[in-house]
Structure 1
């Protein structure tokens, strides 16, 4: 009886040993049905005790190619379209005004330090992208147009990037009859902004009246020109600025977001009849 039990145990041990042997041979020969490691574990970096923060992350996949971002200027530029115009301010749009001392001239506030008047590369790129998409022409409405040297400097910088200035708006006098507050006790700074905005609105209107081929336009400016749109302020023959103003933060300058929004607006309006309504 004892011999029979021992013989049974030996037979079980022999069968177990043979089974394990066959499984090991199958795995080593590649004939098994499961891999030696799960797929997820095979791509992990080896664990170390070095404290590497990336030790547990998947290793780079050599077969996965990184697609480079598309060059926004890769597509052919739009042809120049004289029916579209961009009225361009410079200070606060192509040049930051952060911490720049200011001076009041002819009812407007200008940067006092013109010695450092480098234009922002990011803003210039955004402006070039806007023209690249639309083919719109540039008209300088900035106070830089008052100085032949400053205007030439701006034109040179724009030409270097393939942008041509079509013209400049006329220089008109501010209206002395406009006040914020009362005539006896006006808010001087607010009055200067109002007079400047109203004057610029008349200057843009005057240019458009001389160029009837322009059907649609925008004004890139850091001055809120809409303050001149009120009926009590706006002259009967002056266009409203609000629907066409792209207001730029003077401490940031023109951005790619401005460029995309402006291009969408100009291209959406392109096929519609020109509106010179003043109501």
Structure 2
């Protein structure tokens, strides 16, 4: 063991200051019993601290304090001579104590800064979430107002789409605004599509039967209202919705025809 390096490491000063853990205190104590140099160093540090304390204390009873230290270290029957070391003086230990306090202060400041940064980050996240909620609410309100105006417009054609085949429990509604070449699809009656699948909307002419894709509903799951505005410039005679692979299909997959509705031209 390099005793000199161990002494110069500063751990003995921390031992005297009571800043070590219980395990570290025990390790230092065992080394004091094993190595006289370490024991003497601890006694020198204790003496220097006592001298510093005595210099600012009205009661000076160094001998009694040293005897208490020896008793604590179980050195009653040992002839240990305390040698004063010139390099240990009150200036040295004042600086050492200030360093310890400075270190503690730095750790506390760092902890407070981290706590403050965490609180600021949480506040920013909450603000962003609130702004998103406000924006979504605004968009939902605008959509609702638009739909209300559509429903009240006598020029809007409503086309109910009923469930087909194995999907007879599904339904949807198309509100066709011919003047603006758009439809509003209310797809609340459709279940969520399985992974890798999307709903595709079709405009149909019946004679001959010709389907024209109006596009896929890629945001079906994320849209809470399930109302979708879709461009439609076709002379539609019917509308249908099929389940297709992601990206859509060129022609409808008839075995996955979920809903179908014919436009009432009368």
TM-score by length of 1: 0.31
If each structure's strand is expressed as a fraction of its own residues, which one has the higher value? 2
State the structure with bigger RCO (CA 8 A, min sep 6), 1 or 2.
Answer: 1
If each structure's helix is expressed as a fraction of its own residues, which one has the higher value? 2
Rg comparison, structure with higher value: 2
TM-score by length of 2: 0.32
